[in-house]
Structure 1
């Protein structure tokens, strides 16, 4: 029982690190199912990318 619990905990950590669900890791869903936190993180990264691109463009045009 202890070994099984350790495997479940490892799977949870892996899913959390990858930003997917345990169902996805286990092959129970067709595609990754992202939670709200993952979606928000992607939006933040997209905004940062846009900001950096704008800053670079402004530096080039000066």
Structure 2
């Protein structure tokens, strides 16, 4: 998936117009349109401002890297898990593992 499509999809998911994203990011609406149509590639600065406005990481915006599937809220939660004391962290991971196992079972039965 290209960066322009990712920008458009993330913008649409927020219910934003290109103008809304331009206002939130400080990147012109014309350039947002060019990025979404793959007529231009955002500079690192523009990509960072767009990612921040959309609440996603740069990895997510370019569709690459270990964190490319996570929004900033999820990444923050993952980082904050390290603050939890070990016995509670073990319980949390057991719960997460249970939900993941159940989701995989449901998906396999479809």
TM range (shorter): 0.3 to 0.5
Structure number with greater Rg is 1
> So what's the TM-score if we normalise by structure 2?
0.24
Larger RCO (alpha carbons 8 Å, 6+ apart): 2
